[in-house]
C-alpha cells in the first residue's frame, strides 16, 4: 500500500500520510487537513475516527478478536486473575510472581476509605441508583486524597493515586450494595485477594465468617477480566477526553462512570434483565417481543443484542456464555427468566432480521444473568461493569498522559441560523 492517501478538492490534490498499526490497521492521518485545505472531516459518533494511537487493547470487530497487550482474551480469561490482568493493562507486561505479590499487597494497604466518606453514603436516598452514587463517590475521593489534584505528579506519586483508586473502588462498590439493602458495611480484610475481599465486603456479615464458593470467585474474576478494557469506546474516550484537560484521575474516572451508565453502553446488562422480567410478566411470548424489536414503528430493541464494533460475534460473549452455564449448573440455579433468555437467543439467532444485521448476543446479555445468579440486584450490574473496566480506564488515562496528548477538542459543521437581528422581547 502507498504511504500516502491523496485527497482531491477541486483541482488541487493533497497527500496525507498513512499510519499503519502493529496489527496492520491503516489510518489516514488528517491532523494537518484543516491547515492544508480549510476542510475538516465529519464523522458523527466517531465511527471512522481514530482518536489516538494506543498500545493497550486490540480488537477486530469482523473477526471477533480481543487482545490486551497482545494476549488473547480467551487465554487471559482462562489462565489469569483480575489483578494480574489489571497489572498487565497498567504496566504493559504480565507480572512475575514477585511483582504480583507486591501489587496485591500495595492494593491491600489502601482498601480502607476515609471514614468521613461514610457521610456521603448516609446522605444518598436509600433508593438512589448505584451508578449515580459511584460516580459521585469516586469524584469525592479527590477531596479526601488532594495530592491527586497535582497534574504534575511524579510517576511514583501517580502510581500511588492509581493503586489507591483501584483498591478503594472495590470497597466503595461493596458499600453501595450494603447501603442498598440497609445492612452495615463490612471493612476490607488484607488476608483476602482482591476479588475474594470484594465478595466478602459485599456478601459477608459482621457476625460470622462466610465461606465464599470458589465457583463464585472464579466467575467474578472472569467477568471482571472480560470487562477490563475495550479500547476507545464511549466511556474510555470520555476518560481520555476529560483527562486531556489535565484533570485529576478521580474526576476523569467519575466521568467515565457516568458515560458507562447509559443503556446503550454499560447499562445494557441491567436493561437485559429488566427486559427479560418484562417478557416473563407479559406471559413469556418471545416471538411477540422479537416482532416488536423488528418493528421500526416500535422503539423497543432487544437489549443485549448487537454491538457497535463486533459484527460477527462478541468474543467475550462466547467465554461468558460458558461461564454462565457452569455457574448456573454448579449453583443449582433454576431461574424462569433464564428460560426466556435461552428462547430469545435461539429465536433471534435464527431470524433473518437479526442475522442480516449481524445482531448477536453481546457480553451484557450473559453478564446480567450471571450477576443475578450470584445474588446481585439488577441496579448493581453496571457498577460491577465499572469495577471491571477500572484498570482499563486507568491504563488509558495513564497512556494519554505519558504520550502527552493534547486537550481533546473536536470541531463541528455549523448548521444554525446566520446573522439574525436582535428583536426586543416586547416585539417577539
CB 82 within 8 A of CB 224: yes
> What are the beta bridge partners of residue 5?
16
Residue 234 CB, shortest distance to ligand CMC, in Å, is 7
Number of residues that bind ligand CMC (CB under 6 A): 20
* Binding track, positions 236-275, relative to ligand CMC; x by CB under 6 A: ----------------------------xxx-x-------
CB 110 within 8 A of CB 164: yes
Q: Which of 104, 236, 362, 396 binds ligand CMC (CB under 6 A)?
A: 362
CB 293 within 8 A of CB 302: yes
Q: Which of 145, 203, 305, 366 binds ligand CMC (CB under 6 A)?
A: 305
Check residue 383 for interaction with ligand CMC (CB under 6 A).
no
Q: d(Cα 251, Cα 241) in Å, to the nearest integer?
A: 11
Check residue 308 for interaction with ligand CMC (CB under 6 A).
yes
> What are the beta bridge partners of residue 14?
7
Q: Which of 301, 318, 322, 343 binds ligand CMC (CB under 6 A)?
A: 301
Give the angle 359-363-369 at the CA atoms, nearest 5°.
Answer: 110
Check residue 304 for interaction with ligand CMC (CB under 6 A).
yes
All 3 cell numbers of residue 83?
489483578
Give the angle 303-305-309 at the CA atoms, nearest 5°.
Answer: 125
Residue 359 CB, shortest distance to ligand CMC, in Å, is 5
Check residue 357 for interaction with ligand CMC (CB under 6 A).
yes
CB 137 within 8 A of CB 176: yes
Burial 289-306 (b: 16+ CB within 10 A, else e): bbeebbeeeeeebbbbbb
Name the helix (H) or strand (E) containing 208.
none
Q: Is 193 a catalytic residue?
A: no
Nearer to ligand CMC by Cβ, of 212 and 290: the residue is 290
By CB under 6 A, which span of 11-19, 91-99, 359-367, 396-404 interacts with ligand CMC?
359-367
CB 162 within 8 A of CB 398: yes
Nearer to ligand CMC by Cβ, of 82 and 354: the residue is 354
Q: Which of 243, 306, 315, 388 binds ligand CMC (CB under 6 A)?
A: 306
Nearer to ligand CMC by Cβ, of 54 and 233: the residue is 233
Check residue 303 for interaction with ligand CMC (CB under 6 A).
yes
Check residue 293 for interaction with ligand CMC (CB under 6 A).
yes
Nearer to ligand CMC by Cβ, of 240 and 401: the residue is 240
Residue 409 CB, shortest distance to ligand CMC, in Å, is 24
Catalytic residue, candidates 227, 230, 307, 314: 307
* Beta carbons within 8 Å of 290's beta carbon, 6+ residues apart: 302, 344, 347, 348, 351
Task: Give whole-number Cα distances, 145 to 59, 61, 85, 289, in Å.
Answer: 35, 39, 26, 49
Give the three-class secondary structure for 50.
coil
Residue of 175, 200, 192, 227 lying closest to 104 (CA atoms):
192
All 3 cell numbers of residue 173?
462498590
Query: Using CB under 6 A, which residues numbered 34 to 73 contact ligand CMC?
Result: none
Task: Give whole-number Cα distances, 290 to 13, 354, 368, in Å.
Answer: 50, 10, 19
By CB under 6 A, which span of 32-40, 53-61, 188-196, 297-305 interacts with ligand CMC?
297-305
Give the three-class secondary structure for 90.
helix
Residue 231 CB, shortest distance to ligand CMC, in Å, is 10
Q: Is 364 a catalytic residue?
A: yes
Residue 338 CB, shortest distance to ligand CMC, in Å, is 18
Q: What backbone phi and psi angles, to 5 degrees, belong to 82?
A: -60, -40
Residue 346 CB, shortest distance to ligand CMC, in Å, is 16
Check residue 318 for interaction with ligand CMC (CB under 6 A).
no
Residue nearest to ligand CMC (CB): 306
Query: Using CB under 6 A, which residues numbered 192 to 231 contact ligand CMC?
Result: 230
CB 200 within 8 A of CB 210: yes
CB 268 within 8 A of CB 364: yes
Residue 303 CB, shortest distance to ligand CMC, in Å, is 5
Residue 310 CB, shortest distance to ligand CMC, in Å, is 8
Check residue 307 for interaction with ligand CMC (CB under 6 A).
yes
Nearer to ligand CMC by Cβ, of 131 and 293: the residue is 293
Catalog residues that contact ligand CMC under the rule CB under 6 A: 230, 233, 264-266, 268, 293, 301-308, 357, 359, 362-364
Catalytic residue numbers read 307, 364
Amino acid at each position: 500500500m502507498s504511504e500516502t492517501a491523496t485527497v482531491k478538492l477541486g483541482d488541487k490534490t493533497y497527500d496525507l500520510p498513512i499510519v499503519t498499526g502493529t496489527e496492520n490497521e491503516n489510518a489516514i492521518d488528517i491532523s494537518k487537513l484543516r491547515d492544508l485545505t480549510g476542510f475538516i472531516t465529519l464523522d458523527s459518533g466517531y465511527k471512522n475516527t481514530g482518536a489516538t494511537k494506543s498500545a493497550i487493547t486490540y480488537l477486530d470487530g469482523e473477526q471477533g478478536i480481543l487482545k490486551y497487550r497482545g494476549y488473547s482474551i480467551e487465554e487471559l480469561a482462562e489462565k489469569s486473575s483480575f489483578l494480574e490482568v489489571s497489572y498487565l493493562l497498567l504496566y504493559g507486561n504480565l507480572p512475575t510472581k514477585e511483582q504480583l505479590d507486591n501489587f496485591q499487597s500495595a492494593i491491600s494497604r489502601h482498601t480502607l476509605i476515609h471514614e468521613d466518606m461514610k457521610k456521603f453514603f448516609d446522605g444518598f436516598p436509600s433508593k438512589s441508583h448505584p451508578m449515580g452514587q459511584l460516580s459521585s463517590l469516586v469524584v469525592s475521593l479527590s477531596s479526601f486524597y488532594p495530592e491527586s489534584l497535582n497534574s504534575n505528579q511524579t510517576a511514583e506519586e501517580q502510581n500511588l493515586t492509581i493503586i489507591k483508586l483501584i483498591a478503594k473502588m472495590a470497597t466503595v462498590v461493596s458499600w453501595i450494595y450494603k447501603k442498598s439493602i440497609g445492612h452495615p458495611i463490612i471493612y476490607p480484610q488484607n488476608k483476602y485477594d482482591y476479588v475474594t475481599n470484594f465478595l466478602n465486603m459485599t456478601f459477608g456479615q459482621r457476625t460470622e465468617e462466610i465461606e465464599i464458593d470458589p465457583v463464585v470467585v472464579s466467575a467474578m474474576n472472569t467477568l471482571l477480566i472480560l470487562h477490563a478494557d475495550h479500547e476507545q469506546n464511549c466511556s474510555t474516550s470520555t476518560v481520555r477526553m476529560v483527562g486531556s484537560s489535565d484533570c485529576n484521575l478521580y474526576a476523569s474516572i467519575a466521568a467515565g462512570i457516568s458515560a458507562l451508565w447509559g443503556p446503550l453502553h454499560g447499562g445494557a446488562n441491567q436493561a437485559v434483565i429488566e427486559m427479560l422480567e418484562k417478557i416473563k410478566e407479559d406471559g413469556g411470548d418471545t416471538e411477540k417481543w422479537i416482532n416488536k424489536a423488528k418493528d421500526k414503528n416500535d422503539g423497543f430493541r432487544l437489549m443485549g443484542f448487537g454491538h457497535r464494533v463486533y459484527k460477527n460475534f462478541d468474543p467475550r460473549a462466547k467465554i461468558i456464555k460458558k461461564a454462565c452455564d457452569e455457574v448456573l449448573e454448579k449453583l443449582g440455579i433454576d431461574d424462569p427468566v433464564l428460560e426466556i433468555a435461552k428462547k430469545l437467543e435461539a429465536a433471534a439467532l435464527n431470524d433473518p432480521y437479526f442475522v442480516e444485521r449481524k445482531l448477536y448476543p453481546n457480553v451484557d446479555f450473559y453478564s446480567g444473568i450471571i450477576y443475578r445468579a450470584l445474588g446481585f440486584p439488577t441496579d448493581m450490574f453496571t457498577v460491577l461493569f465499572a469495577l471491571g473496566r477500572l484498570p482499563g480506564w486507568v491504563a488509558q488515562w495513564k497512556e494519554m498522559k505519558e504520550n502527552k496528548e493534547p486537550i481533546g477538542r473536536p470541531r463541528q459543521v455549523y448548521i444554525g441560523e446566520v446573522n439574525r437581528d436582535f428583536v426586543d422581547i416586547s416585539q417577539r
